[in-house]
Chain A
Amino acid sequence: DVKVTQSSRYLVKRTGEKVFLECVQDMDHENMFWYRQDPGLGLRLIYFSYDVKMKEKGDIPEGYSVSREKKERFSLILESASTNQTSMYLCASRPLGGSSYNEQFFGPGTRLTVL
């Protein structure tokens, strides 16, 4: 089974703190994604990576950065957390080929609260 893990299920931080959200997948997938999920807005893409050290901005990249130093790990960084970044953050991975190449596999999510 494909497994996507995220470093924390729940996280509470203070305004201005630097926050790291980690995501690891064990299936050698090329593509990895960071989404933000808010009620009524669905899943909005923050950043996407198609290879090690390669990244593309999604729909809402402002206030976020990412790092992909190894194929299996994709990190989301909030340089200076703000209260409007309180949300559920979901990581996903997707292979480029093979029988399941269309499917995105999601991690369990991290619910971040910024006070």
Chain B
Amino acid sequence: QQPVQSPQAVILREGEDAVINCSSSKALYSVHWYRQKHGEAPVFLMILLKGGEQMRHEKISASFNEKKQQSSLYLTASQLSYSGTYFCGTETQPKTGQNFVFGPGTRLSVLP
């Protein structure tokens, strides 16, 4: 079952902060975050593992609440280069591919 992402879209001014949420109805082993810029392939940002620590990629960080099966992506002091669509992907078991499911995506636009 596809995870739910919110919001669907967000528009920011450069320097502002944003939070993107990803939630699942299933017990998760991991949550992955990818960013896709217009016309390009998705690129891996980070992974949150069950029982693991909060992760960070440049000024982007993420957390995983195992009790709620929810992950949040925090974009701090947004830059123009952060624009794109952010996808979360979830796994219920490690090291298999079939149970990996992407969310519908959140479109982020950062304006000057």
Q: How far is the CB of B27 from chain A (nearest CB, A)?
A: 18
CA distance A50 to B99 in the complex (A): 12
For B27-66 the 0/1 string (1 means CB < 8 A from A) is 0001010100000111110010000000000000000000
Known: A90-B41, A108-B41, A109-B41. A101 touches B101 (CB 8 A): no
Q: B95-112: which residues lie under 8 A (CB-CB) from chain A?
A: 95-98, 100-105
Contact A42 B102 (CB under 8 A): yes
**DSSP class of A's interface residues: helix, strand, loop or mixed?**
strand
Contact B97 A42 (CB under 8 A): no
Known: A106-B42, A109-B41. A42 touches B95 (CB 8 A): no
CA distance A4 to B41 in the complex (A): 10
Q: Give the residue of B30, B47, B96, B103 whose beta carbon is less than 8 angstroms from that of A42.
A: B103
Inter-chain contacts of B95 with A (CB < 8 A): 96, 101
Inter-chain contacts of A108 with B (CB < 8 A): 40-41
Inter-chain contacts of B32 with A (CB < 8 A): 102, 104
Contact A56 B98 (CB under 8 A): yes
Contact A43 B98 (CB under 8 A): no
Q: How far is the CB of A2 from chain B (nearest CB, A)?
A: 11
Inter-chain contacts of B43 with A (CB < 8 A): 106
CA distance A42 to B8 in the complex (A): 11
Contact B104 A40 (CB under 8 A): yes
Contact B102 A43 (CB under 8 A): yes
**Closest chain A residue, CB of each to CB of B1:** A59
Contact B41 A107 (CB under 8 A): yes
8 contacting pairs across A/B (C-beta < 8 A): A40-B105, A41-B104, A42-B87, A42-B104, A50-B97, A102-B47, A104-B42, A107-B41
Beyond the given A42-B87, A50-B97, could you list 4 further A-B residue pairs with CB under 8 A, ordered by the A residue number?
A: A48-B100, A90-B42, A102-B32, A104-B44
Q: Which of A's residues lie within 8 Å of B, judged by CB?
A: 4, 31, 33, 35, 40-45, 48, 50, 56-59, 90, 94, 96, 101-109
